[in-house]
Amino acid sequence: MYFTIEAFVLGTGNFRLQTDGAFRESTSNVTGKSDFTAQILSAAYERIRALGNQVTVAGQTMPCNPSEMKLGDPVAHVAPTVHRQHVPSRPSRDQLILAIKRGDDRENNSLLIDLDGNFVVRSHSTLNRVEEDFAVRHESFIAGNDFVGEDASRAVKHIDELYRLMLAGWLHHLKSGEVGHYVDTPSGRSLDDLLAEIDAFVPSSEET
């Protein structure tokens, strides 16, 4: 597993950071020999921080990940993308049940799938929303609503809905390499379809 750095500009497209600091147009997950790569996620985020507040993409200089923006102004949304030579084991329903069971309903929580394909329930206080270190995140579980804990882990419908939704997010992550993909809309696909496509997925990150 390694990481590249992608810039998305609305209306312009996707671009990938090169070792010389320039961005090239990117139309696939296949890695080029001149692409900047990092072996660990923290190094990718360190390189993004080093870009500063502005980047030049497609010949135009624009803000990089601004906290505020004006509608219509060009902005570069710069983030790491994960590439894999091997796909992790499929996230399991049993592991989801265990993660929900271990959750503390006294806190605001998020259900995640980490980059290794494991379900995790984490308190909001531990999440870095700027430098996200997970593959998929579900919408927030507000404290006191019984979305986590012993009772929640036994609610079959609740678990089934979460599992299908999170698997759809995991499949998106595998295809796109997106880090920190957010899901909150139920998938219209059947569980069997999602499982079959996940199991058949083959990475395409070889160098050109």
The pTM is what?
A: 0.89
Residue owning tokens 């980047």: 55
Which range of 40-49, 72-81, 84-93, 181-190 scores highest in mean pLDDT? It is 40-49
Mean pLDDT of the chain: 90
Tokens (6 digits) for 77: 């949304």
Give the pLDDT of residue 132.
85
Give the pLDDT of residue 127.
77
Q: Are 4 and 17 in contact, with CB atoms under 8 Å apart? A: yes
Give the pLDDT of residue 129.
67
- From its phi and psi, is residue 188 left (phi > 0), alpha (psi between -120 and 50) or beta? alpha
CA separation, residue 128 to residues 46, 133, 150, 162, 180 (Å): 14, 8, 27, 23, 10
